[in-house]
Amino acid sequence: MYKLGIVNGHIVSGKEIKKANLYIQDGKIALETTEFLEAAEIYNAEGLHIIPGCLDVHCHFRDPGYTDKEDMLHGTRAAAVGGVTTVFDMPNTNPPVRDAQSFREKAVYFSDRAYVDFALWGLALGEMNSSKLAEMVEAGAIAFKFFWGYALNSKTYELIYNYKPEMPDLIAPLDNGEVYELFEEVARTGALLAIHAEDHVLVRMLTERVLKSGRRDYSALLEARSNLAEEVAIQTAIAFSKVTGARLHIAHISTQEGIELVKEAQKKGIPVTTETCSHHLFLDSGDYDRVGPVMKVYPPVRGKRDRQALWSGLQEGTVSLVCSDHAPHKLADKKGDLFSVPAGMCDVETMLPLMINEVSRGVITLPFVVQKMAENPAKLFDLYPQKGCLEIGADADLVLIDLNKETEIRNERLHSKQPITGFHGTFIKGCLVATFLRGRQIMKDGEVIGEPQGELVKPQRRS
């Protein structure tokens, strides 16, 4: 007898939708059939669609270190409600994940405070930790993140967001020679290298220029963090990847120019992939008057032309996946002068509902959502087929969706510690009614149930 049967639902893969029953044993998908079998528990999914739980490869849960902004308990609760069953936590916490020891300590620390499964990013810092990359891979780091252009605090290795050369305890951003060496080091490990792609020299000069002019409006921010800054960084990164063989991943791509560069590089066989974030897909500069400084993220939400290019890139496959760059800040800190407020907002809970709404509008299909939010992220980060699909033997991570039910995104209903979104007041057709993690229901009608039982997941490295 099976532990759980989820019957009468429409099962969605990246290819198709079919009506069938799923039977689950030991936290795994054991059988898919049109027959009705005995199970200790039966969930009737009549009228519902069942998708594999989503993977969000880009989350800043701020824990440990900045837990007034977010923490693992709140962040993963938001993930569970948002249909995300595996989160990848970014390494820019305090302490940061910069060697095997800090990796293991974070994994242990998260082990009783994660409502969903989690993978951990490692930081690539250049020569400060180049000798530690291999041991982080060995420990199970999902990939490396390089915050290109950011300075570091020499004592804590914290990232410095708005660096000024006169700051104390400073390690200045790496120059291109050092970055090239970093690419070589990561290439040796075979792991993926994700980069923040904004050329900091250009951003600094352009920011000074607009600040001198006295402008503080949204178009001034876009001039300061221009498309050119992203283009220059991506171009250099692709050139480095071509020569070193490092598997390059462009985080949160935001420009048409960037998409074109990635597309060309892929055509030439250079190992480069990219992702886009829900705020870049669902907002553009025209929304600033309504949303205000909450909308500030790095790289910024840009104009309609760029937004359209991201959708096209996603549709034609240049962009592999959709993620959140969930990066909360204190609500009070997000008010005020646009150039002074910190960049980042909540997205982990809303990204799947926003995509489902596009399905309801007939813009995309459910299999497309499964490809971009489950299959492709699992494949790219070597977690497939444990995660990202509902094949026999896969973890029974699934999300049940009622496409006929409507809901509204409201800040006060979000589960993050600082529930701030650019999507407050957005109506969504299609409601997430249940989430299962390894065969156990963890969300019912928008609320988390049970204790945190998320586990660390490690990539199954390619040989």
Q: Which residue ranges make up the site for ligand DOR (CB under 6 A)?
A: 60, 196, 297-298, 327, 343-344
Residue 203 vs 343, nearer CB to ligand DOR: 343
CB of 189 to ligand DOR, least distance (A): 23
Closest CA to 339 of 227, 204, 153, 240: 204
Apex 266 CA angle, 263 and 269, nearest 5: 155
> Residue 213 and residue 393: Cα distance in Å, rounded?
60
Report whether the peptide linkage leading into residue 299 is cis, meaning its omega lies within 30 degrees of zero. yes
How far apart are alpha carbons 444 and 434 in whole angstroms? Answer: 5
C-alpha separations of 113 from 63, 122, 329, 363 in Å? 10, 20, 20, 37
Minimum CB distance to ligand DOR smaller for 334 or for 379 = 334
For residue 398, the partner it binds in ligand DOR, Zn ion, none, with Cβ less than 5 to 8 A by kind, is none
198 binds Zn ion (CB under 5 A): no
Shortest distance in whole angstroms from residue 27 CB to Zn ion? 30
Comparing CB distances to ligand DOR, the nearer of 162 and 213 is 162
Partner whose binding site includes residue 344, from Zn ion, ligand DOR, none (CB under 5 to 8 Å by kind): ligand DOR
CB of 5 to Zn ion, least distance (A): 39
Q: Are 223 and 211 in contact (CB under 8 A)?
A: no
The first and second tokens of residue 228, run together, are 């050119």
| # binding residues, Zn ion (CB under 5 A) | 1
Residue 53's binding partner among ligand DOR, Zn ion, none (Cβ under 5 to 8 angstroms by kind) is: none
Q: How far is the CB of 71 from ligand DOR (least distance, A)?
A: 14
Maximum Cα–Cα distance for the chain, whole Å? 72
Partner in contact with 366, chosen from Zn ion, ligand DOR, none, beta carbon below 5 to 8 Å by kind: none
Rounded least distance, CB 33 to Zn ion, Å: 42
Say if residues 338 and 216 touch (Cβ distance below 8 Å): yes
State the Cα–Cα distance between residues 271 and 190, nearest whole angstrom: 11
| Cα 388 to Cα 377: distance, rounded to the nearest angstrom | 7
Name the DSSP class of 342. Answer: P
* Distance in Å, CB of 94 to ligand DOR, minimum: 12
Q: Phi and psi at residue 274, in whole multiples of 5°? A: -150, 170
Do the bridges between strand 84-89 and strand 54-59 make them parallel or antiparallel, or are there none, so unpaired?
Answer: parallel
In whole angstroms, how close is the CB of 4 to ligand DOR at the nearest point? 38
**Least distance to ligand DOR from the beta carbon of 203, Å?**
12
Give the nearer residue to Zn ion in terms of CB position, either 109 or 298.
298
Closest among 3, 59, 80, 10 to 445, alpha carbons compared? 80
Among ligand DOR, Zn ion, none, partner that 151 touches (CB below 5 to 8 angstroms by kind) = none
Both tokens assigned to 432: 């997430």
Q: Which two tokens stand for residue 272?
A: 């480069």
User: Measured at CB, which residue is nearest to Zn ion?
Assistant: 325
In the list ligand DOR, Zn ion, none, the entry touching 297 (Cβ below 5 to 8 angstroms by class) is: ligand DOR
User: Per CB under 5 A, which region of 12-20, 93-101, 207-215, 317-325 contacts Zn ion?
Assistant: 317-325
343 binds, among Zn ion, ligand DOR, none (CB under 5 to 8 A by kind): ligand DOR
Q: Judged by CB under 5 A, does residue 275 bind Zn ion?
A: no
Closest approach, Cβ 123 to ligand DOR, in A, equals: 12
> 283 or 400, CB closer to ligand DOR?
283
- Each residue 319-358 as x (binds Zn ion by CB under 5 A) or -, in order, gives ------x---------------------------------
Contact 205, 229 (CB under 8 A): no
Question: 79 vs 82, 296, 388, 414, 442, CA distance in Å?
Answer: 5, 22, 15, 10, 11
Pairing of strands 49-52, 39-44: unpaired
In the bound state with Zn ion, the residue whose beta carbon lies nearer, of 306 and 325, is 325
- The three-state secondary structure class of 413 is helix
Which positions lie near Zn ion, rule CB under 5 A?
325
